[in-house]
Amino acid sequence: MFGACLGTTWYALVTARHEPHDTLVWRYVALSTAVGGVFSALLVIETTSPGVGTVVVAFRLLAQLFFAVFLALSLRELYYAQPATSAAGARISLSTARRIETGFMLLALIQFPIVVWVGPTVLAQVILALAAGAFTIYGVSFGQAIRARRLTRGTVLDATVTYTIAVLLCVGAVSVTEGAVIVSIPEPAVGGAVNVLLVMIGTFLISLIIRLKRSADAVGGAR
């Protein structure tokens, strides 16, 4: 997953240079997968060194959350970057969307000092799960709206939206699954589900890398 995140970051930045009209979208994709790379690296450290300390755990949880946050923001950015349709009057304004995002992020940041000071408490994990779940639903709703417009069909953006939705769902599911500590689910079952979701994230990102590489190669060949 670490390699897949770094590869996606690189090709998203390459695509940003070739797609001047959607530069911010690609930068959000690159930023989200760079944060995903930090998350996966910290997860490896945490797994291989159980006594690593609460600071590493806190940063891992924060990176895990903002992996989902920036994926959601990339979909929001693409949605508002597209031309308005006849149904555009029904959508919320960009300023309102940003206020909602700020509120969610402030709520999520509450868990960071809690984890640093007292460790990953049940409350902190539940807050993380709620925030990640909210941003997952938020981002996926924009992704589905983009697909419904059919303005990106057959383009590299269409593939990016598809895989970004898939990765976002998996990242959100990881946080929600880890937040299931409030119910009596055996820890091995939670760990197994998280491992499956992490593999799925890596798989979806590799598929996106292949699509972005083909696009970059095509643009390079045309020049």
Interval 2-49: pLDDT, tens: 999 999 999 999 888 877 666 788 899 999 999 999 999 999 998 888
CA distance 147 to 54: 41
Q: Look at residues 145, 142, 139 and name the one whose alpha carbon lies nearest to residue 65.
A: 139
Dihedral angle sign, alpha carbons of residues 133, 134, 137, 143: negative
The DSSP code for 1 is -
Long-range pairs, 18-21, Cβ under 8 A, ≥24: 18/215, 18/216, 18/219, 19/156, 21/81
202 has a pLDDT exceeding 80: yes
- The fraction of the chain above a pLDDT of 90, given in percent, is 35
92 has a pLDDT exceeding 90: no
For residues 215 and 150, the model is more confident at 215
Residue 152, SS3 per DSSP: coil
87 has a pLDDT exceeding 60: no
Question: Which pLDDT belongs to residue 84?
Answer: 63
223 has a pLDDT exceeding 60: no
Helix and strand element counts for the chain (H, E): 8, 0
203 has a pLDDT exceeding 90: yes
